[in-house]
Each structure stands twice: as structure tokens, then as C-alpha cells.
Structure 1
Amino acid sequence: MINAHFSVAVRGAVSVWRASLTFADALQQLNDPVALGNTLLPEIDRLLQLRSLTCVNVKAYAWNAPFVYLPKVFDHNELSETPTGFLPVPNNEATLAARASAIGCIAVLGSNTVSYGSENDGALFVNLVVIPGESHQSEKSKGSMKGHTDGVWFPIRGERHPWDNRVAPSPDFVCLCALRNPKQVPTTVMPLSEVLAKLTPATVSELGIPQYNIGPQGTFRKRLREIFGSDVIVEDSQLLFWVEGQPWIRYSHSSARTADDELSAASLAMDEFKAACLECASSHPLEPGDIVLVNNRLSLHGRAEVGEEHGEDSRWLLRTYGLDTTDLDADQWHANSRYMLYP
């Protein structure tokens, strides 16, 4: 029941916040997610306490779960036509409620809502929609996505990037807000604990050896090449980390490679990992008004095939990231931004 109680508390707190502001003022507050999160937290906590919970309880739950599914968190009425690109996010009551709700959810987890300057111009929220045309980006927007973690080129929290200490960590949470999903296209989640349970100890050990090459995912690639050069492969990376006794994963089927031949122990271990991910995938068709918080350390996520339909009333999610920024240095942020991380 913790998911349902969390949903009700966030919905109630955002409603109270929205009622006291004009649309323009509410929209302006989205630009400072730290301040907005702090504004929403006391009311969320008060509403949770009416259900014998606190923000501390929810935070502990989320940090140990592969994902948190929150039904009916926000109203999705007064929605414009589905966009046909990552940006811009249209400004209307539905997208306002979704974004404020996401910021509130992430604040409860002890994290900040963040973006990366090297992806989509550093936008805090982006549209996940079908992009018309025949470009590579368009084709990817229509197809399925295998199991991956977001921001795979970036280090996990607590590590430093081998190229530049200013590079911020990958996100702890990937937040998806459903605005439309008429074909019930499911988001898929693969809990790391279930995946590892299907592997031998030898395979698990191979995944934790720094012997893999990792490149950036497509939405980051162009800008990172402009910043760091044409070859942005990070060599001698590991896919599996142990953090305070708990396994964390960093993996993308399209971005992780082995330097050795296809029959090496490292390559075979990655193949076994891929197969186990497929066996452990669970499907979750998001309904309009739902939010899912995917733990980017303890699970992988993807989606089923979306299809060709675009614009009008086709599938539309908003995505943002959550990260515990407590230990970040000042130069890991973009100057004059409360949410944009370097690079």
C-alpha cells in the first residue's frame, strides 16, 4: 500500500501548492526544483503521516526497490496535442502537474531533480514521443528498447570519471510521467537482484572486473564528442559494482562492449547477463496520470515497441532524473543553474 499512499500524498500536496499560484507563477517555480521540492515536502510528509507513514519510510523503501509505481498522481486533463520531438515540453495544466509531481516525488527520496547539459540542451524535462521521419533518432523512437541504465557513460555516484573529475554521476532514479498511452505500450523493468540470481558466481565476478568499454547513449553522444573529442569510449570499466554490500549496475546493450573476442570470459558473461535480463523483465503499461520511479542502480529498464503513430493523441511520457547531489563539487554543476549537471 505504500505506493498508493505515496501517490495520494504527492497529489494532495501539489494540489495545495497549485491552488495558491497563478499559472505563470507556478510555471516559473519549476525552474528551481530544489526550492519547489522543499516547498512540497512538508505537506507531503503531513499527508503521509495521516496514513502512518513518513518521508523517511518512503525514501528507505524506494532506495531498496527496483522501481516505485505511483498510480493516478496527477490530473491529465487540458492536454495539448502530443509533441513530435524531445523539446519543447508544452506548457499546460497537465504537464505542469506532472512536472511538479515528479519534483515532489524525487524530493521525498532525498534527491534533486536534475538534467545534464550534454543531453537535450540541459532541459529538466523532455518528451518521450514518436519522432516522425526516417532518421536514426526517429527509428529508435518507434521501436522497443532493451534493458539499460540511463547515463551509462557517466560514473556511478561515489566514483570519478577517468577523463574529467567535473563529470557528474549518472542518475539514481529515472522518473517517467505518463500523459498518454493509448496502445498500452508497457515500460519494462528488470530487477538486478533477480537477474543476478540466474547467473553463476563466476559470471557475476566477471561483470565486476574493469574490462568493458562503454560509450555514451545516443542522446548524449553528439555533445560529448564536441566537448571531449570524436572518440568518447571509456575503457576498462566494470558493469557491476558493490556499494555498501549491495550490487549496483551500469549497463546498456547498445553502449557496452568487450575489448576481447566474442568467446572471452568477459564477452560470454555479458551475453549471459543479457539473456537473464530478458527472462526477468516485467511489463508495466503506464496509465495517464501515473508516475514510475525506476531505480537506476538496482534495475534496468526498457519498453515494448511503440509503433508509427505520432502527434495527435499518440503515446507521450515526460522524463526527468533524480540524483542525491549531497557530495557533488561545485564544478560538477553548470554555472547559474539549480539543476543542470556537467558536462
Structure 2
Amino acid sequence: MISVESTTAPADPARTAHPAAGDGTVRLGAPDLAALAQVTSGLLDRAGERVDDPAWPALARHAWEDAPAEVRRLVREFRRNSGPDGALVLRRLPIAAADLPPTPMVKGSVQRVPSLPAATLLLFAAGLGDPAAFAAEKSGALVQDVVPVPGQEEVQGNVGSVELTFHTENAFHPHRPDHVMLLCLRSDHEGVAELRTSCVRRVLPLLTPGTRTALGRAEYVTEAPPSFGPVGGGTAHAVLTGDPDDPDWCFDEAATRGVTPEARAALAELGEVAHRTYTAVRLRPGDLAVVDNRVTLHGRSAFTPRYDGRDRWLQRTFAFSDLRRSRDHRPGDGSVLVK
């Protein structure tokens, strides 16, 4: 990661954890922030009535060219090489936090109405590639709310508030997003919730040779979440693919299982190392975290919601570096994958 400041997370009492020192933070200067605010405000003024209107991504592509040169440089370099931690955090972006409505408290909450945070997410998605979503997940909305929902506390998903285990976003799907963007609108009340990331570039050197070999065999199955409906039993896949010295990985701690004893032992070692070496960052309002979904797992520590309209609220958008690859999943060359 590019690191300007760092936070050190306390160890999870359930396991011995040693978060890395850096958290990928970059603070933009006042001139860049002012220029960025002007671009996002201009995008908001020109956009249509719905965030998911095809005009929005098109306008964001054009607006990205007007973003400050330093911002475009950071994103361009991160897209080309996301570094040893595969995550980037831009601090205190302009989102008009004082004007926010109460934090939503329902499953499937999304943002259809244009807003400054939505404009910010789509702008950065244009810098990383193209925004897209999945029809079975949050109704295919491009900007999705990540909020705690009453009665869903134990869910391994964005509605829960227990520890969210490490995962590749939509690990089961052949067309996973290349980048996951998380924009913080509100922190949790106690300010303790952490975004946790674990990059293959940190984990790989700590794995035994036998485990590295096992993770490269197609002896793993990842189940789809219930929201995607019946998609079969899952296709056998490897956890590590590509260049053995700098691989991509595909793993969901809660949904990936090994189909051989060697695969199950490899997953156990992988999980232990990931939890021993993760990076933690506490997002504050206006902080945008970008996770390279190809090489970095992400999760979240537990927190305690109050359901009082002031709970933790993130908004999420997926970016695809090569949207063409999923053309057969997107009717009309749109922004929603339907299968």
C-alpha cells in the first residue's frame, strides 16, 4: 500500500492477530480536494434522476478527465500495480456528511437517487474501469448501502455486525469485480469497526511450499450466497491462479471448502496466516477504501449497532477493469450482470 498514516488495531480476542503497520492511507491536499469537490458537484448537476440510468457511468467517464491530476495519477498507478497490500484509502473526500439522512435499517438498501457520495463512487469507478453490479444482489444497483440491519446481526454479509470473515468479493462468480470501493458516510458509534484486508503478496511468502502447491490445484468449491438463488453446487477451482510468484486468489472463508484432505489442510493454514498478518483501518466519514479484489481479501471487525439512525453507513460500488469480459452476462451491454 501507499501509506502516509497508520492505525494499529487491537488483537481479536478470539485469535492472535498482528495487523500490519500501514493502512494504505493517502491524504489529498486542500487544492486537490477542492478541485475534486467541483468535479463531483458538476457530475451531480448534469446527472439524471436515477443513479442507475446509463447516462451516469457515461458522464462519470467524461468527468474523470477533469479530476485533479494527482488523483488520476494515484488511481492509474494503483490500477496498474496495487502494491504489497492491494488496498488504497483516500481520506476525507467531500461528501456533504452534514446533509445525510438517517442511516437505512432495511435489507437490500441501495441508493437510486443522485447524491454527492454516489457521484464520488461512480467517478472513481470510471478511473478504475467501469461500474457494474449483479441483478441478484441488491437489485443490481450500482451504489449499494452497507449497513447493519435489525435481526441480521449474525449474518456473514453486509447487513451483519459480527466479524465479517475474509473473502474475495463474489468469489463464486466467473466475473468477479476487479475492485471493491467502500465509501464511509458514518462511522460506528464507538469508532471501533475496522476494514480488514489480507493481500496474497503478504501471505504467500509465509505459506509452506506444500500449501502453495495445494492451493494451486482445482480442489476447492465456493458456494454462492442465498441472494443469488440456485446456481448449482459450484465449480471446482483453485485458490491461487496465474503467476506463481504473484498470483491472483479466489477464496471466501465462510463459503470456500476443500474437496480433498490436502485442500482442507491448505485452507486451514491460509486462514491462520491471513488472520495473523492482516491490515486494519478504521474508516471515517469521507474516507474511500479501494480494494484490489484480485489479490486482496477483505472483511470487517465486529461492532455494536444501536439502530438509532446514526449507525455505521458505507456505500459500495464495484469496478471492472475489462467490462467486455462479462458481455454475455449483461443484456444490452448494460451495467448489470444477470447470471
TM-score tier, shorter chain, comes to 0.7 to 0.9
- Once the two structures are superposed, the pairs formed by residues 154-193 of structure 1 within 5 Å of their partners are 154-155=173-174, 169-181=175-187, 182-184=189-191, 185-193=193-201
CA contact (8 A) 2:135 2:336 kept: yes
1:5-43: CA deviations, max 9, x gaps?
4997576245235247648x4654653343022122211
TM-aligned CA deviation for residue 121 of structure 1: 1.4
TM-aligned CA deviation for residue 282 of structure 1: 1.6
TM-aligned CA deviation for residue 4 of structure 1: 3.1
Q: 1:39 aligns with which of 62, 84, 107?
A: 62
**SS of match in other structure, 1:283:** strand
In the alignment, structure 1 residue 206 sits paired with structure 2 residue 214? yes
TM-aligned CA deviation for residue 104 of structure 1: 1.5
Evaluate the alpha carbon distance shift between residue 54 and residue 207 of structure 1 in structure 2; reply closer, same or farther with a 3 A threshold: closer
TM-aligned CA deviation for residue 84 of structure 1: 0.6
In the alignment, structure 1 residue 72 sits paired with structure 2 residue 92? yes
TM-aligned CA deviation for residue 175 of structure 1: 0.7
Show structure 2 runs of 5+ residues with no match: 5-24
Aligned amino acid, residue 183 of structure 1: E
2:228 paired residue number: 223
- Once the two structures are superposed, the pairs formed by residues 34-183 of structure 1 within 5 Å of their partners are 34-44=57-67, 47-48=68-69, 53=73, 56-62=76-82, 66-75=86-95, 76-89=97-110, 96-109=115-128, 111-133=129-151, 137=155, 141-155=160-174, 169-181=175-187, 182-183=189-190
CA contact (8 A) 2:51 2:142 kept: no
- Say which structure is richer in helix: 1
Evaluate the alpha carbon distance shift between residue 329 and residue 301 of structure 1 in structure 2; reply closer, same or farther with a 3 A threshold: closer
Evaluate the alpha carbon distance shift between residue 342 and residue 21 of structure 1 in structure 2; reply closer, same or farther with a 3 A threshold: closer
TM-aligned CA deviation for residue 243 of structure 1: 4.7
CA distance in 2, matches of 1:20, 1:329: 27
CA distance in 2, matches of 1:294, 1:7: 24
**SS of match in other structure, 1:12:** helix
Evaluate the alpha carbon distance shift between residue 84 and residue 55 of structure 1 in structure 2; reply closer, same or farther with a 3 A threshold: closer
CA distance in 2, matches of 1:199, 1:82: 41
In the alignment, structure 1 residue 255 sits paired with structure 2 residue 255? yes
Aligned amino acid, residue 16 of structure 1: V
CA distance in 2, matches of 1:300, 1:279: 13
CA contact (8 A) 1:142 1:308 kept: yes
1:46-83: CA deviations, max 9, x gaps?
x216x894764453344775101010112222010110
Evaluate the alpha carbon distance shift between residue 114 and residue 281 of structure 1 in structure 2; reply closer, same or farther with a 3 A threshold: same
CA contact (8 A) 1:11 1:73 kept: no
CA contact (8 A) 2:44 2:119 kept: no
2:283 paired residue number: 286
CA contact (8 A) 1:89 1:125 kept: yes
CA contact (8 A) 1:172 1:322 kept: yes
1:314 paired residue number: 311
CA distance in 2, matches of 1:240, 1:89: 33
Number of matched pairs: 311
Decide which moves more: 121-130 or 318-327: 318-327
CA contact (8 A) 1:114 1:322 kept: yes
CA contact (8 A) 2:39 2:63 kept: no
Evaluate the alpha carbon distance shift between residue 138 and residue 224 of structure 1 in structure 2; reply closer, same or farther with a 3 A threshold: closer
Counting aligned pairs with the same residue, the percent is 20
1:77-101: CA deviations, max 9, x gaps?
2010110124443577xx7121211
CA contact (8 A) 2:169 2:176 kept: yes
TM-aligned CA deviation for residue 124 of structure 1: 1.3
1:167-226: CA deviations, max 9, x gaps?
xx101111101011132211111121111121012111100100112111x3xx24331x
1:241 paired residue number: 241
2:262 paired residue number: 265
RMSD of aligned alpha carbons: 3.0
Aligned amino acid, residue 251 of structure 1: F
Q: TM-score, with normalisation over the residues of structure 2? A: 0.81
Q: TM-score, with normalisation over the residues of structure 1? A: 0.80
1:161 paired residue number: none
**SS of match in other structure, 1:270:** helix
**SS of match in other structure, 1:115:** strand
Query: Which consecutive segments of 4 or more residues in structure 1 shift more than 4 A?
Result: 5-11, 19-23, 51-55, 134-140
CA distance in 2, matches of 1:199, 1:20: 46
CA distance in 2, matches of 1:138, 1:207: 24
CA distance in 1, matches of 2:94, 2:282: 17
CA distance in 2, matches of 1:268, 1:195: 16
Q: 1:4 aligns with which of 27, 40, 44?
A: 27
In the alignment, structure 1 residue 342 sits paired with structure 2 residue 338? yes
